[in-house]
Amino acid sequence: MPKIEADSFILVYRDKRRKWLVRVSETPKLHTHLGILDCTSLVGKDYGTRVLTTLNDELVILKPTLEDIVMKFARKTQVIYPKDIGMIIVKCGIHSGSRVFEAGTGSGAATAAMAYAAAPEGQVYSYDLSAEFQAGARRNLERFGLAKNVTLKNQDAKAGIEERDLDAALIDMGDPWELVKPVREALAPSAMLAAICPTMNQAERLVQTLHDEGFVATETLELIARNIEARPGMTRPSMFMVAHTAYLVFGRKLL
């Protein structure tokens, strides 16, 4: 069982709204309204340990999950939510060894999730016109040890995709239909194209373009996640929920 090390990331957890993702070496002492936690004292201990702050408030030290990591990415763009990322990875069949194309790196949240699924042998090729966004994504990926499975390209995918026989593709751009043809040329037969569309009009135009370009098994989804407050005799839907974030469009390439 892995122990907490000086360079480890830890999730300091009080409840679902009060939690902190920190690296022990970067945050020797975590200052919160619940008191101060000496993070260095955790080195050598197991994840799942209960600890007390200087104000005697109890916290739990957890091992961060992929969701914890991507939702804490430093970002200048909106990240793709885990509910959408998970469906994209499953529908596209991204697994260890997969070679994946991405248009629109943004903060690198989806990039990181796909690299995590494709590791250790796979690779994500992520194109973005913004050098600033890619620099931020690179910092996020390097900080959490996911950069080795990502190739960042500061160039316009509409002008052509250099890779061939790719296993999957994700488009996160305002005009995804403009990329259908170059993505089709880059994908292996039967491989899945996925796209993130904020509006119905974008999804509608993209689906029509997919049909025109010889994609089949097209599907458009909207995922809504509703939390449930589960308490003995008082279980009810939470007042908080993640409703509309995007429409997800999928299609598979034919020969």
How many domains is the chain partitioned into structurally? 2
Do residues 205 and 235 share a domain?
Answer: yes
Give the span between the Cα atoms of 230 and 25, in whole angstroms: 36
Could you read off the pLDDT of 140-193 as tens digits, one per residue?
Answer: 999 999 999 999 999 999 999 999 999 999 999 999 999 999 999 999 999 999
Do residues 15 and 77 share a domain?
Answer: no
Do residues 98 and 224 share a domain?
Answer: yes
Could you read off the pLDDT of 49-73 as tens digits, one per residue?
Answer: 999 999 999 999 999 999 998 888 8
Do residues 31 and 111 share a domain?
Answer: no
Judge contact between 144 and 113, C-beta under 8 A: no
Model-level pTM greater than 0.85? Answer: yes
- Any idea what the Cα angle at residue 244 is, between residues 243 and 246, rounded to 5°? 145
Range of the domain at 227: 68-253
Instruction: Name, in order, each residue with C-beta under 8 angstroms of 15's C-beta and a sequence gap of 6 or more.
Output: none
Do residues 91 and 115 share a domain?
Answer: yes
